[in-house]
Structure 1
Amino acid sequence: MSEYSRRMAFLSARIFGHVVKGTSYRNEKIVKQLAIKPVHKDRDEVNYYPPYMKIDLAFENLRYHGLFRDEHQDFAEEMIRLRELRGKVKPKKGEGKRAMKRKAGGS
C-alpha cells in the first residue's frame, strides 16, 4: 500500500466515522458506543409509552358528553355527593363558624 492510499484511507475513516486500522480494542469499543444514536433521539425509545395524558383527556371529554362510562369516577363523585348531604364537606372560605359569628354579631 502506497503512502498516498494509506493517507487517503486514514482521512476517509476520519471523515466517515470509521475506526482507523491499528487502533486498540478499547478505542474501537468507544467508537462503536459513540456511533450509536442517542436515546433521546431514538423514536422507538421516546415513544415507548402511549400518550396517557391525551388519552385521559379524551376519555374525560367523552364522559362529559355521555359517550363513556367511568365507573370509578362515578363512584368517587357519588361519595362526594353523599358527604355533602351529610354535611361533612369543609365550608368555603368566609362561611365557617367564626365568619358566621362575626356576621351575626357585627351586623
Structure 2
Amino acid sequence: MATNYVKYAQLIKASSNYATRMKRLSNRIFGEVAIPTNAKSMKVVKMFSARPTHSNEEVVHYYPRHVETHALMLRLREYGLFRDEHQDFKDEMKRLRELRGKVKVWRRKLDADKKD
C-alpha cells in the first residue's frame, strides 16, 4: 500500500499533462489555489480564507472600557493627577460666562411638570 502512495507522489511531481491536471484537481478538492498565481492574488485568497472579523474575539473586544476609563480620568482630575485641557477650557468658559451674567438655566421638562 505504501508503494502505491509513493508512486502517486512521484506521478504528481512529474511534469506531464496528466500530473498537472491531477495536481489542480487535488488543490480544488482540498481548498487550495488550483493554478499557481502571483503574490497579489494570493493576498486576496488568504483574506477570503481567513476567519471573518465579526467572529474574531481579538477584533470584537479590541477597544478598552471607555466608561470606566472616563470615570477614572475624572477622579484623577479631581485629585490633580491628570490634566484634561479640554475640560479645563470648558470650565473656564463656564466661569467667564457666569462673570458676565450669561448663565443658562436648563430646566427639564419633568421638573416643570411636577411644579404644575
TM-score class, shorter-chain normalisation, is 0.3 to 0.5
TM superposition score normalised by structure 2: 0.41
TM superposition score normalised by structure 1: 0.43
